[in-house]
Structure 1
């Protein structure tokens, strides 16, 4: 296990994956990280749809104009959705759960990339959330925040550099 500082330096958005499948135990650890993540008032209104079927991954890759094509080559996609009536903090809770999965994936040596779904869509005006709902039979009343692409990295990306940290955006005491 890496230290948290090492994990933050090494986690990068991975958009190119090998064809190697993810070990079921590793996938279970990634999902467990989400299930153990904090949620507002412990409501845990999030739900996760795990997609490994290549045909379904290809359909999901077309849910918006750009930024989703990488799903076609992912070993697994995890669709992060929530029952919005259960919790007004569903966006925050889903974001925390998604990040927990990405950090766990990185710790296991897997690559991941966040594919934004909420407030995205096609040039025709069709909403990405509705496209994903139709593909995966997600019930009405649920909204999808993102899809996480997961897989074995096709290449290693350089570590993040502390010099790139925008410390000018940190304000002490007042803005």
Structure 2
């Protein structure tokens, strides 16, 4: 699999993601690396169009694409873990890479520390919408579907090797 071909997708075909592919994505997410193997992440799968539309209002900018996606996975973390943000971030990446491996596109929609257009905390908005318990934090939503965009692969010109250092800075 050439990860240079993986690009963020914000427009999706009007086609459901097969249950077997959703299951494979979740299998991958559930074994994502985590600090001390604590696995403080949980995942909430949303396919209902009305709920996806409501989720698209979960932050001021950058979430409208959720309304056009056939599937979104809300990535939750147990705040009792000192590494929940890092561990959930890894899980988000694993979800996106597995989706790509299965021929799907995806987009990471950051929720933590964001606000809705009405000024409501994005996490609180989602927690209330989906009935999420208070001890779980909402890090992000990963929208997933069959891409309705054609984007070029990343090239060498996209890579800033001045950000790479060897042995010392």
TM norm structure 2: 0.97
Q: Which residue of 1 aligns with 2:42?
A: 47
Whole-Å separation in 1 of the counterparts to 2:106 and 2:64? 14
Query: Deviation digits for residues 117-175 of structure 1, max 9, x if unmatched?
Result: 00101254311000000110000111110000000001221101122111001122222
Q: Which residue of 1 aligns with 2:19?
A: 24
By how many angstroms is 1:40 displaced?
A: 0.7
Greater than 2 Å deviation, 4+ residue runs: 122-125
Whole-Å separation in 2 of the counterparts to 1:53 and 1:93? 27
Query: Deviation digits for residues 25-70 of structure 1, max 9, x if unmatched?
Result: 1111111111111111111111000000000000000011110000
Whole-Å separation in 2 of the counterparts to 1:52 and 1:122? 21
Q: Which residue of 1 aligns with 2:123?
A: 129
Query: Deviation digits for residues 77-125 of structure 1, max 9, x if unmatched?
Result: 000001111x110001001111001001111110000000001012543
Structure 1 regions of 5+ residues with no counterpart?
Answer: none
Pairing partner for 1:160 from 154, 157, 163:
154
Structure 2 regions of 5+ residues with no counterpart?
Answer: none
TM norm structure 1: 0.93
The alignment yields a C-alpha RMSD, in angstroms, of 1.0
